[in-house]
Every structure is written in structure tokens, then in C-alpha cells.
């Protein structure tokens, strides 16, 4: 763990304007600097840097924080790694505590594994580009019209027919073959003879977000099966949390605020070659929760481009469910029957593919289309079965307007009335996790920032500027008024504040306590808009007003939730009367507050 005083020393020595100025063209605008945001595409500058407070904030996409948050977001690294990177830049020595014997052994194993993977990547690459035995791989790439620049960007290699070339290379470099076996590169035969796992295959290195090889995929050059052999999971490689090509796509995903997910390595390569670079692929596995979590860190929506056959559609629907569960808007790109990205681009070109992106349907809408095409609602039995099929996925749509519109559309498509569909929903035993998010337009422009809660933000700013407000909060508590996004900031403000703390010093301390990038973004946004509170004559009136508004808002939210529950159940449901009484109580409270 890095000491907090070292973190502060690094932050003090780094000029945020100089650091960000290396990536963004900044121009002075009053006390701030402005430029085009590096995290999403825009034409009008909405990215602000405040040198006095050493923070940045984008009013377009909401990104914000301190120097560490900028490096973490830009390079996709952890907080400790960002501190170490900036410490090296600032000339600050980070003193790491001595490692235990077990930690030293584990570190040595990891270092050995990384060195083996780097050597294997160089070996496959040099075989393809320089050695006579790489001729079949070069010929295959020429047939597939893969130019040398693209092959170099991917680090493509070739494993020759002989099954001991990598074994000899590893031995020659003094590496442990047992360690290489753990990584799935070599195996020990029954007679004790070591041999390469991959041979006579084109090699795709699978790399982490920093571009370091962590595994390999080998593709045959003919129609033999299996078409691909992928490295097994290892201490450095977990298929459920790794996406192929992320290192190449990261910058473009951030600029577009969107990622396109494909199934195959050559699908990825074909799109990249055509200039569509915000693309990732799964590594021989279905899309997982870990993949969705990874994508959410870098973009606001995802476009699914899987095969058009039955298996591909099932994979698309499963991916849609994961996206709904994690509130990531998903769209489906469809291609003509029998086409894959490579063949489509060859026949119709990149411009036509961009139109396919623009025409992509929301995943739930595409799911309904596929479902009703396969099973027309032409009988009572089919309508009931279709409602049972749709209901669990429908319940995962969180946006109330979107839910309402889809409810009407589902009833229209099935030819049933709203009450029948709602009764079927109320009769569902499974309780899917509420998720989903109103989908964004099917363009590559970033979605608007999330709505702000002015009352909660004002309350936080009052805590920053006024000791009396902090005392009041400590006496009466604020937990019931603040949500999970705003509460950690209030707790940090109360923990770090003292009678001598000015707002700027207080916020610098608070930044040191915050780990979640979303909390740092919120803090940066508040710092950009707190000047109007300085010198306020009556902070208590503002404090009480914010608290009253939040109390009223909480009651309204609960009332809406109860009304939604009542709308999905029949009057003879066992919970109906209890919910009706609660709704009346909340309406009464609302009128009393007003």
C-alpha cells in the first residue's frame, strides 16, 4: 500500500495543466483551461481543467477528477499504478514495504510467466516475418488480403509444422518448460519429450489492455478442425474478463463512447482493417458479466455483431440479458444472410457498414422481432407462451418510459390487452434483477450526462463551505437523504473537515480518500460550480430547504414505485390492499410537505 503522504507529494509536484496538455490542446478561458475531451468525441470543447484546484471535468460526458483519475481513465490502469507512473514522472521515490517470502515467490513466478509469453510472441512473429518455415503463414495472409501494417498492429505470428521450435527457444533463453506448460504453450509427452502445443497455425496474440501478451490463439490454414486452438486459462489469463483487441480499440471506444463486439478474430481484423477500430472480440467463449463490466468502464453502450444463425441469435439474446442486468444499452447490428463482417466489407465497403451501425436496433426490439418471427402469436396458447418468454426480460428494463412504450408495443404485437399482460407479469414467480437503461440513439455520438440531483449537490457544497452545516449534519445525520452516489462524499467531507479547513484544502483531502472514479468525477463537477456559495448570508435556510426537498423527493420515489407495483397486479393479489394503504399514506405525506 502506498502511503498517503507520498500520494499527496506526487499530486503536489505534478501540474495537471502540463500533464493533460500532453494529450489535449488546451486554451485558457478565464481561470480555467478548455479543450476537446479525450474520453469522447466532440466538436465543441466541453473539457475543463482548473489549475488552482488541480482538477478536470468534462461537461459533455461527465468525466472528472484529479491527475490520478485522468491517468487511470486514459490508460485503463489502477490507482496504485497511476500513482507509481506519476511518481516516476515527478521524481518521487515510492517506498514499497518488503515482500514476504510467499509474495517474493509469487512475484518471481509472474515475472517468469510474463517473460515466457513475451518470448513466445517474438518467436511466432519472427517465424512469420523472417524465417523460411513461416512461408505458409505469409502466403495465407496474402490470400486473405491482410497487409503487413495490419499484421504488425496485431503482432500476428506463425507456429511452424515442426513441434519443437518454441521448446528450443525457451530452453535457449533459460526459461522453465514447466512454467511454459502452465501457460499452455508446451506439453510434456509420455516419454518425457517436450513439444509445442501450437503448430502449423497462424498465431493471434491475446493481449491485455496495455498490449502485453497473456495468451495465444492458433488458426489452421485450411478447413481442418478445430479451426482455432486457444490457450487455456492461466494465472495471467481469464477468458471471462479478457476481450481480444481491447488494446487496439481502447482509445476509439472512449472517443465513440461505444464498443462493437464480434465473435471471431478475423471478424475483428476485417473491421479494424476497414477503419472501424472500436471493436473487441470474445476469446472462444460467450460474453460474460466480466466482459460487460470491462466494457462499461470505457463506453456507454455496446453494439452486438454475432453470427446470424440460431447459435448466434442465442448468444445475442444472452448478451442482451447481461447488458440489461448491468444497465448497459445494447444494440444489434444485422448483416445479410450468409455474410460475415469480412465478406460484407469486401462486397459493400466500410460506408455501408457504418450505415448498418446507424440502423442497429435496440437489442430488446430485435429480440421481439426474432421471437415473433419464429413463433407467430396466432393462437391463445402461443400468446400465453410468448408472454411467459418475454416477461422475465421485459422486467429488466429500468427506464419507466421505455418500459411503458415496450409494454404497449408487446401488447400490440401479441394482440392482447394491457390488463392481460400485467396479470401475466404479476403471476411471474421469478424476480429478475432490475436493470437496463433507456437506449441511446443508434449513432456513435455520446449520450447526454445522467440527470443531476441539485438538492444533494447543494447539500454537499454547503458542507464544504460552512462549519455550521457540518455540525448540523453530524448531529442529525444525512444518510436518509443522500443516495449511494453522494453519501461517500459527505462522509469524506465530515471526516476530513476541521475548523481551520478552507474549501480548497478540504477538497484536496477528500480526493485522497475517494477510490471510486465516479465519486471523483462528481467531486470535480461540484468544484467547478461552487463559487456562488461563498459568503452566503443564510446557509441554514439553504440547508433546511435542501433537506426538505430531499425528504419530499424520497417520498415521491417510493410513491412511484408503489404505484408501479399496483399497476402490475390484480386487485385480488394478497399484497394489493397493503400497497394501496401505503400509497395513500405517501400521498398524504406529500401534500403535508407541500
Q: What is the CATH number of the domain that holds 54?
A: 3.90.580.10
Chain-centroid distance of CA 206 in Å reads 19
- 231 or 451, greater pLDDT: 231
Cα separations (Å) of 264 from 5, 229, 471, 505? 47, 13, 59, 51
- 87 or 488, greater pLDDT: 87
Tens digit of each residue's pLDDT (9 = 90 or more) over 64-88: 999 999 998 888 788 888 998 999 9
In this structure, the answer to whether residues 179 and 214 fall within a common structural domain is: yes
Q: Among 60, 90, 120, which residue terminates a domain?
A: 90
> What pLDDT was estimated at residue 190?
81
Q: What is the DSSP letter of 309?
A: S
Q: Among 235, 259, 279, which residue terminates a domain?
A: 235
Residue 594 has pLDDT above 60, yes or no: no
CA-nearest of 258, 204, 268 to 230 is 204
Q: Which of 129-138, 176-185, 270-279, 395-404 has the lowest mean pLDDT?
A: 395-404
In this structure, the answer to whether residues 461 and 591 fall within a common structural domain is: yes
In this structure, the answer to whether residues 123 and 156 fall within a common structural domain is: yes
CA dist 121 and 218 (Å) reads 12
Q: How far apart are the first and last CA of the chain?
A: 51
Highest mean pLDDT among 29-43, 63-77, 103-117, 266-280: 266-280
Q: Is 430 exposed, middle or buried (0-12, 13-18, 19+ CB in 10 A)?
A: exposed
In this structure, the answer to whether residues 221 and 245 fall within a common structural domain is: no
In this structure, the answer to whether residues 206 and 188 fall within a common structural domain is: yes
> What pLDDT was estimated at residue 53?
86
> What pLDDT was estimated at residue 534?
55
Percentage of the residues of the chain whose pLDDT score is greater than 70: 87
Residue 497 near residue 476 (C-beta atoms within 8 A): no
> What pLDDT was estimated at residue 476?
73
In this structure, the answer to whether residues 226 and 247 fall within a common structural domain is: no
Q: Is 520 exposed, middle or buried (0-12, 13-18, 19+ CB in 10 A)?
A: buried
Grid look-up 486473405 returns 144
Question: To the nearest whole number, what is the mean pLDDT of the chain?
Answer: 85
Q: Read off the CATH number of the domain in which 250 is found.
A: 3.40.1360.10
Residue 118 near residue 84 (C-beta atoms within 8 A): no
The mean pLDDT of 205-224, rounded to a whole number, is 93
In this structure, the answer to whether residues 197 and 251 fall within a common structural domain is: no
Q: Is residue 164 in some structural domain?
A: yes
The mean pLDDT of 567-578, rounded to a whole number, is 65
> What pLDDT was estimated at residue 391?
92
CA dist 122 and 128 (Å) reads 10
**Cell numbers given for 221:** 490454414
What string of H, E and C letters represents the secondary structure of 313-382?
HHHHHHHHHHHHHCCCCEEECCCCCCCCHHHHHHHHHHHHHHHHHHCCEEHHHHHHHHHHHHCCCCCHHH
Highest mean pLDDT among 16-30, 507-521, 544-558: 16-30
Return the number of other C-beta atoms located less than 10 Å from residue 400's C-beta.
11
In this structure, the answer to whether residues 462 and 575 fall within a common structural domain is: yes
> What pLDDT was estimated at residue 589?
61
Cα separations (Å) of 61 from 291, 299, 552? 22, 10, 29
Long-range contacts of 134-138 (CB under 8 A, 24+ apart): 134/158, 134/160, 136/200, 136/221, 137/202, 137/221
- 567 or 306, greater pLDDT: 306
Q: Is residue 382 in some structural domain?
A: no
CA dist 372 and 383 (Å) reads 10
Render the burial of 101-120: b for 16+ CB within 10 Å, e for the rest.
Answer: eeeeeeeeeeebbeebbebb
Grid look-up 419507466 returns 400
Q: Is residue 198 in some structural domain?
A: yes
Residue 203 backbone phi and psi in degrees, to 5: -105, 125
Q: Is residue 465 in some structural domain?
A: yes
The mean pLDDT of 34-41, rounded to a whole number, is 87
Q: What is the dihedral of CA 428, 433, 438, 441, to 10 degrees?
A: -100
If phi > 0 it is left, if psi is from -120 to 50 it is alpha, else beta; for residue 76 that is left
CA dist 465 and 104 (Å) reads 48
- 505's CB contacts (< 8 A; 6+ apart) are none
* Domain count for the chain: 4
Q: Is residue 440 in some structural domain?
A: no
In this structure, the answer to whether residues 179 and 230 fall within a common structural domain is: yes
Q: Read off the CATH number of the domain in which 154 is found.
A: 3.90.980.10
Domain containing residue 469 = 451-594
In this structure, the answer to whether residues 594 and 457 fall within a common structural domain is: yes
In this structure, the answer to whether residues 127 and 217 fall within a common structural domain is: yes
Tens digit of each residue's pLDDT (9 = 90 or more) over 387-428: 999 999 998 887 788 889 999 999 999 999 999 999 888 874
Cα separations (Å) of 307 from 211, 233, 243, 347, 356? 27, 25, 18, 17, 15
CA dist 53 and 32 (Å) reads 10
Q: Is residue 583 in some structural domain?
A: yes
> What pLDDT was estimated at residue 429?
42
- 17 or 467, greater pLDDT: 17
- 168's CB contacts (< 8 A; 6+ apart) are none
Q: Among 33, 58, 90, which residue terminates a domain?
A: 90
pLDDT band at 441 (very low <50, low <70, confident <90, very high): very low
CA dist 356 and 362 (Å) reads 13
pTM over 0.85, yes/no: no
Residue 197 near residue 185 (C-beta atoms within 8 A): yes
Amino acid at each position: 500500500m502506498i502511503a498517503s503522504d507520498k500520494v499527496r507529494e506526487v499530486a503536489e509536484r505534478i501540474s495537471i495543466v502540463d500533464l493533460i496538455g500532453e494529450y489535449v490542446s488546451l486554451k485558457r478561458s478565464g481561470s480555467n483551461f478548455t479543450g476537446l475531451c479525450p474520453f469522447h468525441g466532440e466538436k465543441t470543447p466541453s473539457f475543463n481543467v482548473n489549475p488552482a484546484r488541480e482538477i478536470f471535468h468534462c461537461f459533455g460526458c461527465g468525466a472528472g477528477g484529479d491527475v490520478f483519475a485522468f491517468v487511470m481513465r486514459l490508460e485503463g490502469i489502477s490507482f496504485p499504478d497511476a500513482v507509481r507512473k506519476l511518481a516516476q514522472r515527478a521524481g518521487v521515490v515510492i517506498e514499497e514495504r518488503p515482500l514476504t517470502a510467499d509474495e517474493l515467490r509469487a512475484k518471481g513466478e509472474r515475472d517468469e510467466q510474463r517473460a515466457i509469453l513475451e518470448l513466445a510472441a517474438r518467436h511466432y512473429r519472427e517465424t512469420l516475418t523472417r524465417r523460411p518455415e513461416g512461408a505458409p503463414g505469409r502466403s495465407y495472409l496474402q490470400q486473405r488480403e491482410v497487409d503487413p501494417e495490419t499484421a504488425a498492429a496485431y503482432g500476428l505470428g506463425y507456429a511452424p509444422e515442426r513441434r519443437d521450435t518454441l521448446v528450443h527457444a525457451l530452453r535457449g533463453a533459460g526459461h522453465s518448460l514447466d512454467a511454459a506448460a502452465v501457460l499452455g504453450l508446451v506439453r510434456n509427452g509420455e516419454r518425457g519429450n517436450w513439444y509445442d502445443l501450437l503448430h502449423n497455425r497462424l498465431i493471434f496474440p491475446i493481449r491485455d489492455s496495455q498490449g502485453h501478451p497473456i495468451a495465444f490463439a492458433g488458426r489452421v490454414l485450411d478447413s481442418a478442425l478445430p479451426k482455432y486452438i486457444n490457450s487455456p486459462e492461466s494465472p495471467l489469463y481469464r477468458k471471462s474478463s479478457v476481450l481480444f483487441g481491447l488494446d487496439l480499440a481502447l482509445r476509439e471506444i472512449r472517443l465513440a463512447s461505444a464498443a462493437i463486439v464480434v465473435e471471431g478474430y478475423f471478424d475483428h481484423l476485417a473491421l479494424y482493417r476497414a477503419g472501424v477500430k472500436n471493436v473487441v472480440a470474445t476469446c472462444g467463449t460467450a460474453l460474460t458479466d466480466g466482459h460487460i463490466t470491462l466494457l462499461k468502464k470505457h463506453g456507454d453502450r455496446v453494439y452486438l455483431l454475432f453470427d446470424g444463425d440460431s447459435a448466434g441469435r442465442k448468444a445475442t439474446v444472452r448478451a442482451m440479458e447481461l447488458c440489461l442486468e448491468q444497465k448497459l444499452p445494447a444494440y444489434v447490428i444485422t448483416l445479410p444472410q450468409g455474410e460475415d463482417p469480412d465478406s460484407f466489407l469486401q462486397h459493400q465497403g466500410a460506408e455501408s457498414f457504418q450505415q448498418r451501425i446507424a440502423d442497429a436496433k435496440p437489442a430488446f426490439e430485435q429480440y421481439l422481432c426474432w421471437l415473433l418471427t419464429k413463433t407467430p402469436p396466432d393462437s391463445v396458447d402461443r400468446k400465453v407462451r410468448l408472454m411467459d418468454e418475454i416477461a422475465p426480460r421485459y422486467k429488466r428494463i429500468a427506464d419507466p418510459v421505455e418500459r411503458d412504450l415496450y409494454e404497449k408495443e408487446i401488447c400490440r404485437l401479441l394482440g392482447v390487452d394491457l390488463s392481460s399482460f400485467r396479470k401475466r407479469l404479476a403471476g411471474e414467480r421469478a424476480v429478475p434483477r432490475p436493470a437496463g437503461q433507456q437506449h441511446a440513439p443508434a449513432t456513435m455520438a455520446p449520450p447526454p450526462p445522467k440527470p443531476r440531483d441539485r438538492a444533494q449537490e447543494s447539500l454537499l457544497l454547503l458542507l464544504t463551505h460552512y462549519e455550521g452545516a457540518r455540525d448540523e449534519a453530524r448531529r442529525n445525520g444525512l444518510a436518509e437523504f443522500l443516495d449511494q452516489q453522494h453519501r461517500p462524499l459527505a462522509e469524506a467531507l465530515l471526516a476530513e473537515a476541521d475548523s481551520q479547513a478552507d474549501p480548497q484544502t478540504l477538497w484536496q483531502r477528500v480526493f485522497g480518500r475517494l477510490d471510486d472514479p465516479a465519486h471523483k468525477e462528481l467531486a470535480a463537477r461540484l468544484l467547478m460550480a461552487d463559487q456562488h456559495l461563498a459568503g452566503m448570508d443564510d446557509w441554514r435556510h439553504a440547508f433546511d430547504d435542501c433537506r426538505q426537498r430531499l425528504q419530499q423527493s424520497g417520498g415521491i420515489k417510493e410513491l412511484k414505485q408503489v404505484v408501479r407495483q399496483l399497476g402490475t397486479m390484480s386487485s385480488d393479489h394478497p399484497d394489493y390492499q397493503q400497497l394501496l394503504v401505503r400509497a395513500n399514506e405517501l400521498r398524504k405525506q406529500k401534500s403535508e410537505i407541500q
